[in-house]
Amino acid sequence: MLNANKDLNPAVLSISIFSIPVIVAALGYFVDIYDLLLFTQIRISSLHSLGLNDQDTSQIGASILNIQMIGLLIGGILWGMLGDKKGRLSVLFGSIVLYSLANIANGLVQNVDQYKLCRFIAGIGLAGELGAGITLVSELVSKEKRGIATSLVAGIGLSGAVFAYFIKLHFDWRICYFIGGGLGLLLLLLRVSVFESGMFRSIEAHEVSRGNFVAFFTDATRFKKYLLAILIGLPTWYVIGRLLAFSNEYATAFHVQGKIDPAKSVMYAYIAISIGDILIGVLSQFLKSRKVALFIFYGLTAIGLVLFFNQDGGSIAYMYLLCAFLGFGTGFWAIFVTMAAEQFGTNLRATAATTAPNMVRGSLVLVTLLNDTLKPYYGFVHAAAITGVVVMTIATIAAIFTKETFGKELDYIEVC
């Protein structure tokens, strides 16, 4: 570990939490989340229009979601390395162009194979937005206000899922994809006014290893930090990708009195997630601890899971309320990504902050595999509940061993 300020003499600039870079990062994540969750919102209608029946819609829908997550996993590595090699802004520009064009193409698909390809390419593009944005904001805002700024980025950005729901109500699914692509391309105009991180510029002209993804695996201490940084985020996509995305099927198993719309479940959850992500930033600032705030939200998630799996014959309103409660409990996405960024030096920070959330998104494939493996032995509901216990246990243990990063000085490089 090398102190960049001492050895590289950078021009480090501290900006307001309401400055243009923060606002543009938030809007970028807004469009990112709109696209990321759009398939969940229009999964049923779009697949039905392609000629699939209800059973195929469930199975192929899960397959398309997994393919999108694999794209996110691959894209996370590619964009993360590029962010440390070429700069945070290169990722913010490149990723949004790719997923915007993929969105537009998605509105033109005529069969399932084309659908899968477009979601895979979109997944690669979507992978770069959050990590690069959080890294840039973390390096531009003072350490005293860093947590609040990154929480604002995530809180505002996550409301893109709510916007996707209301767009889905008023437009055909193809138009929904066109709107997402158009919003992304419009955002490029705002990005012109955003400037690069001073910390990155300070190391750009120096002979240091940047964006070396392999470096996370060549040093035991660094690997442990990286692995823990990923594992603490696991509950988020277990809740979103399993419980919320298929809430209609769980509602049937719980004998809920009425028909549940998964798109509405996601919408209510993301309203709560947006609020939770902002509040956890304020809470961590008040407590002067990322970890304590994280454990509080873990506790809320655990309570939500107990209530979710113990309902029987409840109302539609109660089911949606539980989805919102689970959303609020998993509203620690901003802190999770911020902690990943704060764990590493400037030359590996974008790689860590970009790959970690996409590793978590990609872990949905493994979570689904575990759930499906348990299903024949324990049934639909109990398999999901056991999967939840496993996920929460792993995340809690990881958080215990994760180092506190509140107020950490980021102006240093990793020697690798």
| pLDDT digit string, tens, across residues 266-299 | 889 999 999 999 999 899 989 999 999 999 999 9
DSSP string, 217-238: GSSHHHHHHHHHHHHTTHHHHH
For residues 25-51, b (16+ Cβ closer than 10 Å) or e, as one string?
bbbbbbbbbbbbbbbbbbbbebbeebe
Task: Note whether residue 10 is domain-resident.
Answer: no
Nearest residue to 25 via CA among 159, 137, 146 = 137
Rounded CA separation 48/52 (Å): 5
Rounded CA separation 373/363 (Å): 15
Sort 102 into a burial class: Cβ within 10 Å, 0-12 / 13-18 / 19+.
Answer: buried
Task: Note whether residue 8 is domain-resident.
Answer: no
Q: Of the segments 35-39, 98-102, 396-400, which one has the largest average pLDDT value?
A: 396-400
Does residue 152 have a pLDDT over 90? no
Does residue 397 have a pLDDT over 60? yes
Does residue 13 have a pLDDT over 80? no
Q: What is the pLDDT of residues 179-206, one digit of tens each?
A: 999 998 888 877 766 666 666 667 666 6
pLDDT number for residue 8: 40
Task: Note whether residue 7 is domain-resident.
Answer: no
Q: Across all residues in the chain, what is the average pLDDT?
A: 88
Give the count of domains, the chain. 1
- CA count, 13 A, side-chain hemisphere, 288: 1
Task: Note whether residue 30 is domain-resident.
Answer: yes
What are the structure tokens assigned to 25, written together?
């990062």
Q: What is the CATH number of the domain that holds 56?
A: 1.20.1250.20
Residue labelled with tokens 């689904």: 368
pLDDT number for residue 89: 80
Distances (CA, A) of 54 to 1, 45, 58: 55, 10, 6
Q: Of the segments 38-47, 51-60, 152-161, 331-340, which one has the largest average pLDDT value?
A: 331-340
Rounded CA separation 342/349 (Å): 7
Higher pLDDT, 273 or 36: 273
pLDDT number for residue 271: 92
Task: Note whether residue 22 is domain-resident.
Answer: yes
pLDDT number for residue 205: 66
What are the structure tokens assigned to 143, written together?
């350490």
Q: What is the pLDDT of residues 297-335, one digit of tens each?
A: 999 999 999 999 999 999 999 999 999 999 999 999 889
Domain range for 344 is 15-411
Task: Note whether residue 1 is domain-resident.
Answer: no
pLDDT number for residue 307: 97
Q: Which amino acid is at 45?
A: S
Higher pLDDT, 204 or 165: 165
